[in-house]
Amino acid sequence: MISVIPRRYAQALLMIATERQTMEQYEQELARFRQVLLENPQVKELLDNPRVLPQEKKKALDLLIKDFASPIVYNFLHLILDKRREAFFLEVIKAYNKYADEARNIVNAEVWSVVELTSKDYRDLEQKLARITGKSVRLQNIIDTSLLGGIKVKIGDMVIDGSVTKKLSLLKNQLQRTQLTEIGVKK
């Protein structure tokens, strides 16, 4: 769940992006900013430090984004700094991505399998999930060697477990519930 502060900032930027038809552009610019922050923990530390003066933070931010940020994203990131919400930079970006996906009718899904899915299986699964959800599906394949076979899919809160491990577990439970007399075994 996204907290209130990042949600408000992300929704405000998304409204502007929708109005200007620049949703993807802003998403890419925010992704570059996120990447810079993650690759340079000392810069993130500087921006998050309450002892550093706001004008020093602005200078650091300007150096980071001057080469790629459009005026709107530039002003947006400065606004976050002005409001002393810089600790929320990464959460705001995550929230913006989530809301942009919702606006484009895209849902993220994860699929766990023992081996990497072939491109055909990947496409087929994406299409099946798109039919189930009624949305475009962005699929991420996660290798899980603890599975015996099959796949497990998670879309939002919904989990579809088609793994052999789950099927064996269900079979075991069913056998334990089955009365021996039902199958003709006498005690």
Cβ-based burial of 134 (10 A; exposed 0-12, middle 13-18, buried ≥19): exposed
Q: How do residues 102-155 score in pLDDT, each as one tens digit?
A: 999 999 999 988 889 899 988 998 999 899 889 999 999 999 888 777 788 898
- Considering Cα of 83, then 86, then 89, then 92, what sign does the dihedral take? negative
Domain residue limits, the chain: 4-102, 105-180
Q: What pLDDT shows up at residue 87?
A: 92
- CA-CA distances (angstroms) from residue 56 to 30, 60, 63, 80, 163? 21, 6, 11, 14, 53
Strands (E), 60-115: 106-113
Domain covering 105-180 assigned CATH 3.40.30 in the classification: yes
Report the predicted TM-score, pTM, of the whole model to 2 decimal places. 0.75
Q: How do residues 77-103 score in pLDDT, each as one tens digit?
A: 999 999 999 999 999 999 999 999 999
Distance, in Å, from the CA atom of 149 to the CA atom of 166, rounded to the nearest integer, reads 10
Find the mean pLDDT for residues 7-32.
Answer: 97
Q: What pLDDT shows up at residue 96?
A: 97
- CATH number (1.20.140.10, 2.60.120.20, 1.10.520.20, 3.40.1160.10) of 4-102 reads 1.10.520.20
Q: What pLDDT shows up at residue 187?
A: 53
Q: Are 93 and 34 in contact (CB under 8 A)?
A: yes
